[in-house]
Amino acid sequence: MKELDPLALFRLSVLGPIISRPQLSHGELKTTLRELSLKEYDIPGSRRRHIAEKTLQEWLYNYRRHGLEGLTPKQRCDQGLSKLSAAVQERLLAAKQDNPRRSIRVLRQMLEREGLVARGTLSRSAIHRLLQQHGLSRPVGAASVPEERRSFVSEAANEIWYGDVLHGPRALVNARPRKTYLVTLMDDASRLITHSAFCLSETALAIEGVLKQAVLKRGLAQKLVVDNGAAYRSSSLQGICARLGTQLVYCRPYHPEGKGKLERWHRTCRDQFLSELGTAVIPLEDLNARLWAWIAESYHKTAHAGLLGLTPLARYQEDLGRIRLLGPLAAKLDEIFQHRTERLVRKDGTVSYDGRFFEVPYQLAGQWVRLVVDPHTKRVVGVEDKAGTWLGAATPLDRHANRHRRRRKPVAGVVQPLTPQRPRGGPSVLDLACAQHYEPIAADPTAEEK
């Protein structure tokens, strides 16, 4: 019996909603084809995720005429054959063998100078196919044998986490549809999703937010393997991993197989979760709630072939005694994930951040300081110097209240020193000094919220 072509079977499965119905009402075919073109597919032999409506229509007509044979891709009768003349082929091969470092551009120029081909008539692809057919297209310095790769798995949970981003559906944010990105961290040994969330960007800030939730739920990882993109190369992410004691490892460019387990999870997520969402655009909060419910109740509790039949949750729980917990870092986790940005204190003792102004201790006027902020809540905590020494709190500027505040007048021979330590639960020495001259500025970092 003739073996069925996998691509033909895939095309048949895509057309299933149409083929399974013997008759369609007027206009229903066009609507169904449009809906199928909006879905994402794992197309064999292709990196594309969508199929054009016109292509689907062509498949359908071929199937109606020739059955499954009409969905089988046809091979070209001239496949593997070069259309170049024998003389041109012989000269190209001889020139390449004489000097393997010659590029396609140089080879084409040689033939044009020798008069074998007219100027601009020989295409690069024709030369490349000829060289590839004779095994002469390998780049100079490339290995003569394929690169060796080995399948591996970590010995225990939290030894290696993988991080990556998948393009997600549109979601409602403030009543407007926005593009989303699925940021995910996965444990290598157990395939457990330490945390995943749909975000509005794939920047370092989104990755740091997912990492913080993963650390709170699953403890600390020894290594975090990520892509080589600019978002993962940010100084803030590198600093956070260094403070957590997690080694940040970058994959080689253009080698996605380094995170093959997470790539496979992306496929599972597309097939089992994203495909069930439908075409309706839902709020971002509801989208994440559905994602977390599916991960917790379906993915984590489904037996995994790569885990010898265990579920990701069961495999992760086997290593609970070996997992590195937060410990003393739990008390200052928020501080670890804070950002620092340099600002020049204005003459009126204020600094700006995100379009807002904040008052800092007046002694810092005219100095460069580091503004400590929580980037996820946009909350400004305080200021410190380049060495990390706490200089005081930063409070929102209230110009109306400042009309009634008493100004400090300089006192000859008196210099107020800056406190070298971050205040814990009370005002700093600097704030107490300011209170002698006017109403004190709140030193509590949460005063803005209160």
| Residue that is written with structure tokens 């879905």 in the block | 39
Q: Are residues 90 and 66 in the same domain?
A: no
Q: Are residues 61 and 91 in the same domain?
A: no
Got the DSSP string for 26-39?
TTHHHHHHHHHHHS
Residue 78 located in a structural domain? no
Whether the CB-CB separation of 391 and 358 falls below 8 Å is answered with: no
Q: Are residues 391 and 263 in the same domain?
A: no
Whether the CB-CB separation of 287 and 171 falls below 8 Å is answered with: yes
Q: What is the pLDDT of residue 252?
A: 73
* Orientation of helix 28-38 relative to helix 53-66, angle to 10°: 120
What distance separates the 2 farthest-apart alpha carbons in the chain? Answer: 103
Got the DSSP string for 286-298?
HHHHHHHHHIIII
Helix (H, G, I), strand (E, B) or coil at 263: helix
Closest Cα to residue 194, out of 300, 78, 293, 287?
300
* Orientation of helix 53-66 relative to helix 6-14, angle to 10°: 110
Q: Are strands 339-344 and 368-374 parallel, antiparallel or unpaired?
A: antiparallel
* pTM exceeding 0.85: no
In this structure, the chain runs to a length of 450
Helix (H, G, I), strand (E, B) or coil at 11: helix
Print the domain residue range for 95: 86-133
Q: Are residues 49 and 123 in the same domain?
A: no
Q: Which of 133, 152, 168 is the last residue of a domain?
A: 133
Q: Are residues 245 and 366 in the same domain?
A: no
Q: What is the CATH number of the domain that holds 91?
A: 1.10.10
Residue 61 located in a structural domain? yes
Q: Are residues 254 and 303 in the same domain?
A: yes
For the chain, the domain total comes to 4
Got the DSSP string for 344-359?
EPPTTSEEEETTEEEE
How buried is residue 426: exposed, middle or buried, by Cβ count under 10 Å (0-12/13-18/19+)? exposed
Residue 238 located in a structural domain? yes
Q: Are residues 317 and 401 in the same domain?
A: no
Q: Rg of the chain over CA atoms, in angstroms?
A: 31
Residue 98 located in a structural domain? yes
Residue 233 located in a structural domain? yes
* Pairwise CA distance, residues 225 & 47, whole Å: 23
Phi, psi of 12 (to 5 degrees): -65, -40
Q: What is the CATH number of the domain that holds 281?
A: 3.30.420.10
Please count the other Cβ atoms lying within 10 Å of the Cβ belonging to residue 118: 9
Chain centroid to CA 262:
12
Whether the CB-CB separation of 178 and 171 falls below 8 Å is answered with: yes
Contacts of 442 (CB under 8 A, 6+ apart): 393, 395, 448
Q: Tell me the HSE value of 257 on the side-chain side, using a 13 A CA sphere.
A: 6
Q: Are residues 190 and 286 in the same domain?
A: yes
Q: Are strands 356-359 and 339-344 parallel, antiparallel or unpaired?
A: unpaired
Give the angle 211-214-218 at the CA atoms, nearest 5°: 145
How buried is residue 360: exposed, middle or buried, by Cβ count under 10 Å (0-12/13-18/19+)? buried
Closest Cα to residue 366, out of 352, 349, 390?
349
Element (H, E) at 261: helix 260-272
Q: Are residues 243 and 298 in the same domain?
A: yes
Q: Are residues 292 and 365 in the same domain?
A: no
Q: Tell me the HSE value of 128 on the side-chain side, using a 13 A CA sphere.
A: 6
Tokens of 104: 């396609």
Tokens of 205: 């800030």
Q: What is the pLDDT of residue 227?
A: 86
Q: What is the pLDDT of residue 80?
A: 54
Q: Are residues 169 and 318 in the same domain?
A: yes
How buried is residue 96: exposed, middle or buried, by Cβ count under 10 Å (0-12/13-18/19+)? buried
- Residue-by-residue pLDDT tens, the chain, 450 positions: 556 778 888 888 888 888 877 777 878 888 888 988 998 888 887 878 889 999 998 988 888 888 888 888 876 655 555 678 888 888 888 888 888 888 888 898 888 988 888 888 888 888 888 888 888 876 544 444 556 666 677 889 999 999 999 999 999 999 999 999 999 999 999 999 999 999 999 888 999 999 999 999 999 999 999 988 878 888 889 889 988 999 998 887 666 666 788 999 999 999 999 988 888 899 999 999 999 999 999 999 999 888 888 999 999 999 999 999 888 888 888 888 988 888 999 988 899 988 889 989 888 889 999 999 988 888 888 898 888 888 888 888 888 777 777 766 666 555 555 444 444 444 443 343 334 433 443 444 444 443
Closest Cα to residue 240, out of 333, 330, 159, 158?
333
Residue 314 located in a structural domain? yes
Contacts of 142 (CB under 8 A, 6+ apart): none
Residue 76 located in a structural domain? no
- In single-letter form, the type of residue at position 357 comes to F
Q: CA of 347: how far to CAs of 350, 365, 406, 431, in Å? A: 7, 5, 17, 18
Whether the CB-CB separation of 126 and 137 falls below 8 Å is answered with: no
Residue 141 located in a structural domain? no
Q: Are residues 199 and 300 in the same domain?
A: yes
- In single-letter form, the type of residue at position 273 comes to F
